């Protein structure tokens, strides 16, 4: 065969690391984001949609000095400037807050939902374009703004279908962490750039507590650690006294539980066991919450005591650090504000173990974790984990204007939250296909379209089969592929008598699989009705299947 | 002052030709697109969201052989391949239809809504990122698919708020145009590539009929035309007989009106004037429709006659062209299908003057035009013009697979339609700001947040002022900027008495502008109520202002 003028055909493929979303996938995400947007709106936040393209300069990446622009973003040159696709929704917000600072209300409260792009090596389940869903308050120094965002995140999670008890929002403060660094001698308030490398290693080590345990973290804080495969990770090189201070912080939740246990024992000894309000409250901490980082008892007294003890233990650890004690005071204020709004520890808890990686946080940090178990690819049960996080970042706008602007915000991992809803069976139901009016007689297409029109006007999703009608089997196969609930059939004979055949495809599929002869007879999957009864018959069948 | 380590600050600017969308702009577009999506869904179309990034190869641009990739798209190189942002939603659909051809139902009916990017010189009101909203049926050869898309477009326009009579959808067929080219001797069916340049000039000339009139078009078909500024545009160089044939086509709507006028005169002469059904029907064409391309009488007989005469006049013009007569037959079928669904000429008309620029159309083409007048920047009335268009393009998927796949679709100009709704005052109402609970006493923030929480639980959009509360005037200015309907105030004194001040900001602003002293007294803009009546008081005020 002669080649098509030597031109090769283009490949029909998405670029590596990109994907398409079909029908129900688009609908499920939209339904979830619409619900979240409604919550954000109720909280007084306004929508913002920035352009997908920013200058590399505004994004804060270094200008590339070679042909290949910076890794991490998709970038291209234009008249000597570099443009790039945004890699998150926070950098564009900082740019907007600076650009429109004279016009925007202050504080400026906005939410944003949309795709972001990362020029990273794609992997299984790792894409280079994905959705983010952020809410931020810019220009509010008060931690009331942080508390509000935690409450809003809680409402949003429940609104989309994560039940109370299936999640917990954990709140910490970067200042507390800095206080720990200070008392451990690896943060010098007079010279913040000293010990930067050590602090980086310490942060990464703390973040691995879940996986490596206390001994693993201890090794990483000291000389280093050899993993199971024999690979050696260099440690922070701290001394024993330094390490002890950091580990005391890392295990602070255990100290809190120990302290509570002592209090309970005191309380029960001083009266009849389990009768005083205090001992009952304390008991409820232990009866409902074996693990320190799970959501705990809804008993308000129990939660108040627990928060108080947590802050007390923290204070004792870092009382020599000014910034650390500032952090404790902020956590105390956040806890009080949340209590006043009824957000107890069954939803939001103060938890000093939350670190969060991003370097730019300067105050409160928070993280929403789903606490139910799912089964991983290998069939093992595991906790679902984090679906959202955020915190205070007071220096982002300063890059543009030179003036510090306090800001705090949260980002929801859209794909992870969708996966969680699917795992809980709480995604929106699989979308139903349209009623398909089949084409028995090609010369009668106008009449078939008339039927379709009647159904649509009645609000029923419907279409006429638009492929080649020759093979009737293909028409029913098409209806099947579309997950159509009903097919309509009208041949010459039916047309002459003014009737149509209405076929219940859901029932038909069920009967075909499992029905006895009696059932076939009792409830036929296909019936003949006058054309005038088309809409009511279709409605009745669709009602039958909910 | 010492410079910040010599680093200059980044500019807080969107790249040239890009813009941001705030609050109400995002909401109005979303509301419109949601309504359109609901119509598309009811018609049996499924959502599709393709990645923003495609290979340049798949987009169908030529691979660049220099550093600077093709003008027209934003592109960058990656490991020897060129990637680019999509410039429309049709090219990605063709790629998807080819890539998933074994899995997708056939016909495949999808809608897509999202941003596209054009690397063009930006100008006033011309942006390099904008929204498109498309619906296409891939794999349906029948013109029933085209008719359906016209009906769906009509429903979508009415659903978003364009009243019947304020728009018309005009339908033509590229085959009819080709038939005219053939009888005018500038299309050789045996060698379609002959006369390509001439046809290009002819198409562009026809498209300028509105602006240049018949004589202007005649000049462009012949030797050429000198415009008012003295610039000369070279013509197609056709002979007089050729030009006459093309002009007969261009003015076919006038011929139709002439023919109808003759018929009316015949009909009225053969009976009592204006009494026969035919003459009444014909009369209604003229009484309601002076211009040939406006939507005409809803009298079904009148529309049927007009369509019939249009097709007859066309047939006489191009009866020597096989492809032309095929086009006429297709238009006839579309008209019949639309009639059967009740879409008369008050919504959709057959109009041979529709050309549409895109080279890839192969059959029916359609265009939605808004027929109401708006006032342009210079205060002159003008018709709003086109807001959507589309047609049949049977060769796009073939690029990938080598097999022709029939396809047809429509694209709505999202920004133009939004502008039309705004011009008609039919956009969604300006979004209302939140109720603002002010901060009179910094130590009572927890209580204020409690009030906010109570309002939110009652479904009322509310927030506490999160800026620096020192200057109370700033708090009210903030509420004003947010277009808040109500402000809540509670100082030490009110708190002690268990009451709050509720300030009606809308009434307050009105009174400040225009009220007499009596009105001030009769309906105070601020009232004191018990805290327990907060929600009902706020509701009453918001209800007052609808």
Of A22, A106, A462, Cβ closest to residue B467: A106
Contacts of B20 in chain A (CB under 8 A): 48-51, 92, 96
Mean pLDDT value across residues B206-219 = 87
What is the tens place of the pLDDT at every residue in A408-429? 999 999 999 998 898 887 765 5
pLDDT of residue A48: 97
**Residue of A374 and A144 predicted with greater confidence:** A144
Query: If you measure CA to CA, which chain A residue comes closest to B30?
Result: A34
What is the tens place of the pLDDT at every residue in A281-304? 666 665 555 455 555 556 667 777
In chain A, pLDDT over 70 holds for what percent of residues? 87
CA distance A32 to chain B (A): 14
Contacts of A433 in chain B (CB under 8 A): 44
**Cβ A58–B13 below 8 Å, yes or no?**
yes
Query: If you measure CA to CA, which chain B residue comes closest to A481?
Result: B105
Nearest to B167 by CA among B355, B348, B401: B348
**Cβ B47–A142 below 8 Å, yes or no?**
no
**Residue of B326 and B524 predicted with greater confidence:** B326
Q: Which of A5, A42, A108 to mutate to test the interface with B (most CBs of B within 10 A)?
A: A42
CA distance A206 to chain B (A): 33
Contact B402, B440 (CB under 8 A): no
- Residues ≥6 apart with Cβ < 8 Å to B472: B438, B440
**Cβ A98–B12 below 8 Å, yes or no?**
yes
Return the minimum-mean-pLDDT range out of A119-123, A457-461, B280-284, B418-422. B280-284
**Cβ B52–A55 below 8 Å, yes or no?**
no
Residue B520 has pLDDT above 50, yes or no: yes
Structure tokens that stand for B116 in this block: 């596209």
Contacts of B69 in chain A (CB under 8 A): 76
Mean pLDDT for chain A overall: 86
Residue B64 has pLDDT above 50, yes or no: no
Contacts of A407 in chain B (CB under 8 A): none
Task: Report whether the peptide linkage leading into residue B421 is cis, meaning its omega lies within 30 degrees of zero.
Answer: no
CA distance A471 to chain B (A): 13
**Cβ A401–B13 below 8 Å, yes or no?**
no
Contacts of B485 in chain A (CB under 8 A): none
Torsion of CA A60, A66, A68, A71, to 10 degrees: -40
- CA dist., res. A202 & res. A245, Å (int): 12
Starting at the earlier edge strand, list the strands of the sheet with A167-173.
Answer: A348-350, A167-173, A364-375, A381-392, A407-413, A129-138, A108-117, A46-49, B21-22
Mean pLDDT value across residues A239-268 = 85
**Cβ A340–B456 below 8 Å, yes or no?**
no
**Cβ A9–B74 below 8 Å, yes or no?**
no
Band (pLDDT 50/70/90 cuts) for residue B287 is low
CA distance B53 to chain A (A): 7
pLDDT of residue A261: 80
Contact B515, B543 (CB under 8 A): no
Band (pLDDT 50/70/90 cuts) for residue A381 is confident
- CA dist., res. B515 & res. B524, Å (int): 11
pLDDT of residue B297: 57
What are the DSSP calls for B391-408, one per residue? EE-TTTTHHHHSS---EE
Residue A521 has pLDDT above 70, yes or no: no
Contacts of B463 in chain A (CB under 8 A): 43-44, 109, 148
Neighbours of A260 (CB within 10 A): 21
Contacts of B401 in chain A (CB under 8 A): 9, 12
pLDDT of residue A364: 95
Residue A192 has pLDDT above 80, yes or no: yes
**Residue of A34 and A307 predicted with greater confidence:** A34
Tally C-beta pairs within 8 A across A and B. 284
* φ, ψ at A397 (rounded to 5°): -75, -30
Band (pLDDT 50/70/90 cuts) for residue A204 is confident
- CA dist., res. A279 & res. A263, Å (int): 8
- Residues ≥6 apart with Cβ < 8 Å to A84: A53, A54, A55, A56, A59, A61, A69, A73, A74, A75, A76
Band (pLDDT 50/70/90 cuts) for residue A154 is very high
- CA dist., res. B250 & res. B254, Å (int): 9
N- to C-terminal Cα distance for chain A? 55
| Cα→Cα distances B129→A89, A428, B82, Å | 17, 31, 20
- Residues ≥6 apart with Cβ < 8 Å to B160: B32, B35, B36, B417, B421, B426
**Cβ A22–B446 below 8 Å, yes or no?**
no
pLDDT of residue A317: 92
Determine how β-strand A435-437 pairs with β-strand A486-489.
parallel
CA distance B187 to chain A (A): 23
Q: Which of A28, A56, A453, A482 to mutate to test the interface with B (most CBs of B within 10 A)?
A: A453
Mean pLDDT value across residues A52-58 = 93
Residue A1 has pLDDT above 50, yes or no: no
pTM of the shown model: 0.89
**Residue of B464 and B524 predicted with greater confidence:** B464
Number of H helices, E strands in chain B: 20, 19
Contacts of A11 in chain B (CB under 8 A): 55, 57-58, 400
pLDDT of residue A500: 95
Residue A494 has pLDDT above 90, yes or no: yes
Torsion of CA A484, A485, A487, A488, to 10 degrees: -130
Of A42, A129, A456, Cβ closest to residue B52: A129
Task: Report whether the peptide linkage leading into residue A269 is cis, meaning its omega lies within 30 degrees of zero.
Answer: no
In chain B, pLDDT over 70 holds for what percent of residues? 87
pLDDT of residue A240: 93
Neighbours of B518 (CB within 10 A): 8
Band (pLDDT 50/70/90 cuts) for residue A212 is confident
**Cβ A51–B18 below 8 Å, yes or no?**
yes
| Cα→Cα distances A186→A239, A246, A276, A317, A364, Å | 11, 10, 45, 15, 21
**Residue of A275 and B120 predicted with greater confidence:** B120
Contacts of A19 in chain B (CB under 8 A): 51
Residue B110 has pLDDT above 90, yes or no: yes
Spacing of C-alpha A424 from chain mean position: 14
Question: Judging by beta carbons within 10 Å of its beta carbon (0-12, 13-18, 19+), is residue A470 exposed, middle or buried?
Answer: exposed
Contact A410, A134 (CB under 8 A): yes
Contact B318, B280 (CB under 8 A): no
Residue B17 has pLDDT above 90, yes or no: yes
pLDDT of residue A124: 80
Band (pLDDT 50/70/90 cuts) for residue B277 is low
Contact B85, B53 (CB under 8 A): yes
- CA dist., res. B345 & res. B285, Å (int): 11
The dihedral through the CA atoms of A324, A325, A328, A333 has a sign that is negative
Mean pLDDT value across residues A329-341 = 92
pLDDT of residue B158: 96
| Cα→Cα distances A519→A125, A203, A283, A487, A504, Å | 45, 66, 57, 21, 14
Residue B1 has pLDDT above 80, yes or no: no
pLDDT of residue A334: 95
Mean pLDDT for chain B overall: 86
Query: If you measure CA to CA, which chain B residue comes closest to A141?
Result: B467
Contacts of B78 in chain A (CB under 8 A): 15
CA distance B68 to chain A (A): 9
Residue B312 has pLDDT above 70, yes or no: yes
pLDDT of residue B298: 60
**Cβ A44–B18 below 8 Å, yes or no?**
no
Spacing of C-alpha B250 from chain mean position: 26
Mean pLDDT value across residues A44-66 = 82
ipTM for this model: 0.88
């Amino acid at each position: 065969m002669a080649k098509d003028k030597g031109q090769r055909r283009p490949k029909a493929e998405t670029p590596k690391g990109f994907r398409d979303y079909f029908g129900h996938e688009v609908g499920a995400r939209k339904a979830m984001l619409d619900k979240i947007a409604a919550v954000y709106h109720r909280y007084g936040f306004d929508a913002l949609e920035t352009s997908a393209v920013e200058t590399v300069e505004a994004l804060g990446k270094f200008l590339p000095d070679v042909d290949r622009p910076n890794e991490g973003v998709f970038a291209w040159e234009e008249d000597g400037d570099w443009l790039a696709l945004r890699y998150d929704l926070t950098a564009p917000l900082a740019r907007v807050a600076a650009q429109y600072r004279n016009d925007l209300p202050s504080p400026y409260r906005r939410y944003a939902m949309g795709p972001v792009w990362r020029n990273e090596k794609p992997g299984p389940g790792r894409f280079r374009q994905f959705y983010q869903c952020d809410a931020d308050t810019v220009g509010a120094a008060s931690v009331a703004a942080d508390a509000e965002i935690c409450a809003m995140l809680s409402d949003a999670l429940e609104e989309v279908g994560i039940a109370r008890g299936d999640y917990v929002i954990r709140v910490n403060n970067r200042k507390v962490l800095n206080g720990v660094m200070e008392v451990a001698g690896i943060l010098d308030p007079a010279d913040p750039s000293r010990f930067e490398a050590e602090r980086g290693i310490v942060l990464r080590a703390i973040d691995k507590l879940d996986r490596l345990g206390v001994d693993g973290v201890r090794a990483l804080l000291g000389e280093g650690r050899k993993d199971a495969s024999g690979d050696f990770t260099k440690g922070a090189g701290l001394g024993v006294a330094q390490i002890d201070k950091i580990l005391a912080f890392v295990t602070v939740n255990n100290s809190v539980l120990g302290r509570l246990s002592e209090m309970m024992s005191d309380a029960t000894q001083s009266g009849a066991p389990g009768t005083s309000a205090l001992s009952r409250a304390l008991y409820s901490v232990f009866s409902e919450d074996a693990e320190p980082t799970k959501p705990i008892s809804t008993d308000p007294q129990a939660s108040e005591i627990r928060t108080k003890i947590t802050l007390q233990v923290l204070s004792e650890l870092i009382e020599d650090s000014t910034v650390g004690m500032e952090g404790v005071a902020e956590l105390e204020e956040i806890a009080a504000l949340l209590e006043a709004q009824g957000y107890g520890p069954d939803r939001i808890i103060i938890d000093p173990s939350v670190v969060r990686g991003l370097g730019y946080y300067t105050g409160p940090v928070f993280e929403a974790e789903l606490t139910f178990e799912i089964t991983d690819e290998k069939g093992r049960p595991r906790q679902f984990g984090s679906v959202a996080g955020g915190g205070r970042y007071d220096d982002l706008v300063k890059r543009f204007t030179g003036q510090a602007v306090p800001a705090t915000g949260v980002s929801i991992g859209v794909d992870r939250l969708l996966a969680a809803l699917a795992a809980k069976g709480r995604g929106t139901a699989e979308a139903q296909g349209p009623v398909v009016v089949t084409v028995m007689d090609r010369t009668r297409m106008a009449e078939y379209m008339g039927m379709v029109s009647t159904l649509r006007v009645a609000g029923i999703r419907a279409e006429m089969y638009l492929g080649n009608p020759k093979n009737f089997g293909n028409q029913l196969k098409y209806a099947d592929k579309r997950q159509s609930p009903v097919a309509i059939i009208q041949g010459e004979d039916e047309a002459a008598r003014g009737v149509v055949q209405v076929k219940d495809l859901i029932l038909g599929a069920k009967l075909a699989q499992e029905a006895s002869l009696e059932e076939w007879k009792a409830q036929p999957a296909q019936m003949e009705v006058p054309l005038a009864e088309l809409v009511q018959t279709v409605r009745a069948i669709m009602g039958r299947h909910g």
